[in-house]
Amino acid sequence: MTIFEELKARGLVFQTTDEEALKKALDEGHVSFYSGYDPTADSLHLGHLVPILVMKHLQLAGHKPYPLVGGATGLIGDPSFKDDERSLQTKETVKGWVESIRSQLERFIDFESGDNKAQMVNNYDWFESVSFIDFLRDVGKYFTVNYMMSKESVKKRIETGISYTEFAYQIMQAYDFYVLNQKYGVTLQIGGSDQWGNMTAGTELLRRKADTQGHVITVPLITDATGKKFGKSEGNAVWLDADKTSPYEMYQFWLNVMDADAVRFLKIFTFLSLDEIEDIRIKFEAAPHERLAQKTLAKEVVTFVHGEKAYKEAVKITEQLFAGNIKSLSAKELKQGLSNVPNYAVKSENSLNIVDILVATGIVNSKRQAREDVQNGAIYINGERVQDLDYILSDSDKIDNELTVIRRGKKKYFVLTY
């Protein structure tokens, strides 16, 4: 199976410009390619992972990646399928985000070994020295307004309004492709399906200005079995930065994927061979309650993004929380596993009597309810039941001298911090 055939079999190819020519180029030699990432935040998220995985597959097949961080285009904002114009960020903010994204990309692509080791590029390096007049003369003249307005990403914004700044974004991205072609021989661009218009503007510029054929692969917008856009967890993006989405949270995200999606996502998001995935599918469909596909998916993706140590820690937190073994976890681990539960900062003037603290933290709304819960065995301190109404929290109840975990009933957790 060729690399292009494998990408298609995995569901990683949505559109291409000239499939036969691209397949021939990938089969017959080493192709230099790029994928761009604008710094619209200080971290990439799960939606960016798909083109990153395509880059990795292509690099493993011997092709050379040029990951691009958009230090210039990030100052402008891509209008593609956005309802409103992005807020412009300061140069200092974007510069900081560029460095964060650069360090993330370096975790996923090999920059160290082989003739096809990756080379990071930043489009601010060439846009910084281009004058407005030169850009209009050397690039703008190759695009008609009719051509630019024909792009679906622009059409959708014409009715509500689009600034010239965002309107010009597509020819900036086109110029990236041209510069990378001229400097490094790049002939292939990888991007999301919403980037089709910007990416084909690049092949058009290569054709007209350099008499060169460029290729495009767009990856599909990933949706779950219900058609919902994938990569959101309770309304929030699943980030690749461990400080924004912890390895435990990411592990839980994959563990809770619907059965109907699990095997398909194994093809998209992991490097397991298609034969290995087929074996998992057979076992999974025979015993779906064991969730083999989801567990494998969670293991492979968390290990790829955060490393094996973080994966093992996520499994430990999951198992110990499920068993109620709070004291077997460190404060750091508990902060991951209980990041979404209510927190209460204990003040020096607070009474540490169990009844008083339950009311003060809002765990219950009255002393009467607090007393009932304690006497009925519904209150646990660090996993251990407390039924003494005179119980006083002490230093021995502080895990790593940082926090105490209170559980009410079977599943309601609360964290006290000091």
Residue list for the binding site: 34, 169, 173, 232
Residue type present at position 91 = K
CA distance 51 to 12: 8
Report CA 393 to chain centroid distance, whole Å.
Answer: 40
Distance of alpha carbon 204 from alpha carbon 174, whole angstroms: 8
* Inter-CA distances, 101 with 218, 233, 236, 288, Å: 21, 21, 19, 37
| Residue 3 φ/ψ, nearest 5 degrees | -65, -40
Closest CA to 418 of 407, 410, 408, 400: 400
Binding site as annotated, residues for ATP: 232
Q: Tokens in use for 224?
A: 């779950």
> Please, is 123 exposed, middle or buried when counting C-beta atoms within 10 Å of its C-beta (0-12, 13-18, 19+)?
buried
- Contact by Cβ (8 Å): 410, 385: no
Q: Where are the alpha helices (DSSP H) in 189-273?
A: 196-210, 247-255, 259-269
DSSP letter string, 274-312: HHHHHHHHHHHHH-GGG-HHHHHHHHHHHHHHH-HHHHH
Known binding-site positions for L-tyrosine: 34, 169, 173
